[in-house]
A and B are shown apart, each in its own frame.
Chain A
Amino acid sequence: MREPRAGRIAGAAIASLILASSLVGAGRAQMGKVGTSLDPQNFGQIERGRYLAITGDCASCHTVPESNQPFAGGRPIETPFGVVVGANITPDPETGIGDWSDELFVRALREGKGHDGQLLYPAMPYPYYTKLTESDALAIRAYLNTVKPVRNAVVSNKLPFPFDVREGMAAWNALYFKSGEFKPDSAKSAEWNRGAYLVEGLGHCGACHTPKTTLGGDDRGQALQGYALQGWFAPNITNDSERGLGGWSIADIVGYLKNGHNMTTASTGIMAEEITLSSSHMTDADLTAIATYLKDLPGQTARPPQAVSASDPRMAAGGAVYVDECSACHGMDGKGVPFLFPSLAGSPNVRSADPASLIRVLIEGARSVATAGEPTGPGMPSFAWKLSDDQAAAVLTYIRNSWGASAPAVDPGQVAQARARAAMASGR
């Protein structure tokens, strides 16, 4: 499995960096325990902060789902190195951030430093939030000041050694953290710049969609070109015609982010949660700005791989499974039903180099997101009991190489891995 191997290599690297680096964290400035100085009656600022907190999807890490305790922390976040737990960011003075000064809060968001100067883990996406303007960061603070204080002491650091040594983050930051507010590009439109501000900043899209180095930092050279995490493959969201959003219009992107569904696809898994908590509540203008920016990210010049030959026995087998089991929703032409059953034909997801999401949906089934704009939320059943690893691999190979597409065949071993992961997850 990819993750532990990366972890082991990273562990060795970080351990040596820890020995080499001085105690960066020792240079703590004693910030006063004074609490907020923001005006609790500045409703304009508070409402702006509320919108920004939604845009940044703070709840996805800081709120335990269905706990009815917003921002009280306690939600475990799976990283390639282990589990980090989201902190309590309600105004509780002892277990939350109630006693933090506003400067401390802004520093946490934009510099990745905790209350006493300890280095935060980039599961808290400060490398992205560094782009926030001070005004936006303060607005978020103003909003969080109004949230119900919850007494909930959270220990965030649940990482195994050596990752639990926070000082190691100093070296990581040296490699991967470039502090600094967003600088607009004067050659681009205001809309593009707003989109860039959101995507590269508060939206922290790259946290899931940008491939990582073995040390877990963003591989900037392949920004937003897709990344495998938590058993899914977060797809390429550049304007690449084969693997990215090249076939989507701005309206398709906006519709997807707002409603979870568009003509050709439906959101499920982690992105479904993002849509529910975050982008479905954003303004059309902001969603359009995001789409404008993404559509301007150049595609890659990689040529698509050669298609698996139609005479390959796996194609015949996969085609038989498809006719019998898949066409009732996805159609013999692979086009599905707009807004109801995703189109497999012409789908970058289906053709992605890493088929993790595809395999997972087939093995576990999938419930698509239900939003106000698209309340139906259709689901796909699990095929785990019906298809062997070979049969599942065959039908996925078939859809990846039909209707004009070409992508590497799926290996039965990958299906077996997905089954094992699902079994482990459901046993938890």
Chain B
Amino acid sequence: MFFDPAEGAAVEALVDRLIPPDPETPGGKDAGCAVFIDRQLAGPYGRRAGLYLSPPFIKGTKQQGPQDEDGPAVRYRKALAALDQYCRQEKGGAFVSLSDADKDAVIGGLESGAVKLDSVDGQAFFELLLGNTREGFFADPIYGGNRDMCAWRMIGYPGARYDYRDWVHRHNEPYPHPPVSFMGRADWNARKT
């Protein structure tokens, strides 16, 4: 909805290193984190609906919070372009084409500030991307990520429930029910006999 194919592939590759796959739980890509981010950027979050966007935009202290002229949608666009440029120039190819080790090195460099992107604050982009990736990983599956509630299963979070009265007094016992999302879970469907 928002990313073009190249951007989408780059984001998929990024989220799959931020949250790598393992035998038990999918990584960011298969969990749908890139789909999540794509939908978010295409919507009100991407264009900062409801925020105070009057100028002037003056850079202040860290404590004064974000004063960017650009919202998340614009920032992703610019950052992904700059990242692509960096990877091609410094690593010999687009981000998606790098080895896992090289990908991790680039991401680590963004995190530390060692990797400098042209006209884009790499560290700030890293923070934004990491935050959105985690949101997508742990939000309800209706938003596009956390496919099949894989992230909730991983940590033992039972999902969109509303009644734990029978479990308050059961100290130090595992909670038995599987996670449920807004659109339900498999057990809601009668098993065909």
A residues contacting B by CB (< 8 A) are 313-314, 316-317, 320-321, 323-325, 327-328, 332, 386-387, 390-391, 394
CB of B191 within 8 Å of the partner chain: yes
CB distance from B22 to the nearest CB of A (A): 28
CB of B66 within 8 Å of the partner chain: no
Whether A328 contacts B163 by the Cβ 8 Å rule is yes
Main secondary structure of the interface of A (DSSP, over half): helix
Q: Which residue of A lies closest to B189 (CB)?
A: A317
Partner of A391, one of B160, B165, B177, B189: B189
B residues contacting A by CB (< 8 A) are 160-163, 165-166, 177, 180, 182-185, 187-193
In the complex the two chains form, what is the Cα distance from A302 to B160 in whole Å?
42
Whether A324 contacts B161 by the Cβ 8 Å rule is yes
B161 — which chain A residues lie within 8 A by C-beta? 324, 328
Whether B184 contacts A316 by the Cβ 8 Å rule is no
In the complex the two chains form, what is the Cα distance from A314 to B193 in whole Å?
11
Q: Which residue of B lies closest to A311 (CB)?
A: B193
Whether B163 contacts A313 by the Cβ 8 Å rule is no
Whether B185 contacts A324 by the Cβ 8 Å rule is yes
CB distance from A276 to the nearest CB of B (A): 30
Whether A394 contacts B188 by the Cβ 8 Å rule is yes
In the complex the two chains form, what is the Cα distance from A323 to B162 in whole Å?
9
In the complex the two chains form, what is the Cα distance from A387 to B183 in whole Å?
7
In the complex the two chains form, what is the Cα distance from A390 to B183 in whole Å?
14
Given contacts A324-B185, A332-B166, contact A314 B180 (CB under 8 A): no
B188 — which chain A residues lie within 8 A by C-beta? 317, 320-321, 324, 387, 391, 394
Main secondary structure of the interface of B (DSSP, over half): loop
Whether A327 contacts B189 by the Cβ 8 Å rule is no
Whether A317 contacts B187 by the Cβ 8 Å rule is yes
CB distance from B140 to the nearest CB of A (A): 12
In the complex the two chains form, what is the Cα distance from A332 to B162 in whole Å?
12
Given contacts A313-B192, A316-B191, contact A391 B163 (CB under 8 A): no
In the complex the two chains form, what is the Cα distance from A327 to B191 in whole Å?
22
CB distance from B87 to the nearest CB of A (A): 43
Q: Which residue of A lies closest to B180 (CB)?
A: A324
Q: Which residue of A lies closest to B186 (CB)?
A: A320
B182 — which chain A residues lie within 8 A by C-beta? 386
Q: Which 8 A-B pairs have the closest CB atoms?
A: A328-B162, A313-B190, A320-B187, A328-B163, A317-B190, A327-B163, A324-B180, A313-B191
CB distance from A401 to the nearest CB of B (A): 14
Whether A323 contacts B177 by the Cβ 8 Å rule is yes
Q: Which residue of B lies closest to A321 (CB)?
A: B188
A316-B187, A324-B184 provided; 8 other pairs, C-beta below 8 A?
Answer: A313-B191, A317-B187, A317-B189, A324-B185, A328-B162, A332-B163, A390-B190, A394-B190
B180 — which chain A residues lie within 8 A by C-beta? 324
In the complex the two chains form, what is the Cα distance from A216 to B180 in whole Å?
47
In the complex the two chains form, what is the Cα distance from A314 to B166 in whole Å?
24
B162 — which chain A residues lie within 8 A by C-beta? 325, 328
Q: Which residue of A lies closest to B187 (CB)?
A: A320
A386 — which chain B residues lie within 8 A by C-beta? 182-184
A325 — which chain B residues lie within 8 A by C-beta? 162
Whether A321 contacts B193 by the Cβ 8 Å rule is no
Given contacts A324-B161, A328-B162, A328-B163, contact A314 B190 (CB under 8 A): yes
CB distance from B184 to the nearest CB of A (A): 7
CB distance from B164 to the nearest CB of A (A): 9
Sampled A-B contacts (15; CB under 8 Å): A313-B193, A316-B187, A316-B191, A320-B185, A320-B188, A324-B160, A324-B177, A324-B184, A325-B162, A328-B162, A386-B183, A387-B184, A390-B189, A391-B188, A391-B189
Q: Which residue of B lies closest to A391 (CB)?
A: B188
B184 — which chain A residues lie within 8 A by C-beta? 321, 324, 386-387, 391
In the complex the two chains form, what is the Cα distance from A317 to B187 in whole Å?
6
CB distance from B115 to the nearest CB of A (A): 45
In the complex the two chains form, what is the Cα distance from A387 to B189 in whole Å?
10
CB distance from B185 to the nearest CB of A (A): 7
In the complex the two chains form, what is the Cα distance from A321 to B180 in whole Å?
10
A328 — which chain B residues lie within 8 A by C-beta? 161-163
In the complex the two chains form, what is the Cα distance from A386 to B161 in whole Å?
14
In the complex the two chains form, what is the Cα distance from A325 to B184 in whole Å?
9
CB distance from B98 to the nearest CB of A (A): 43
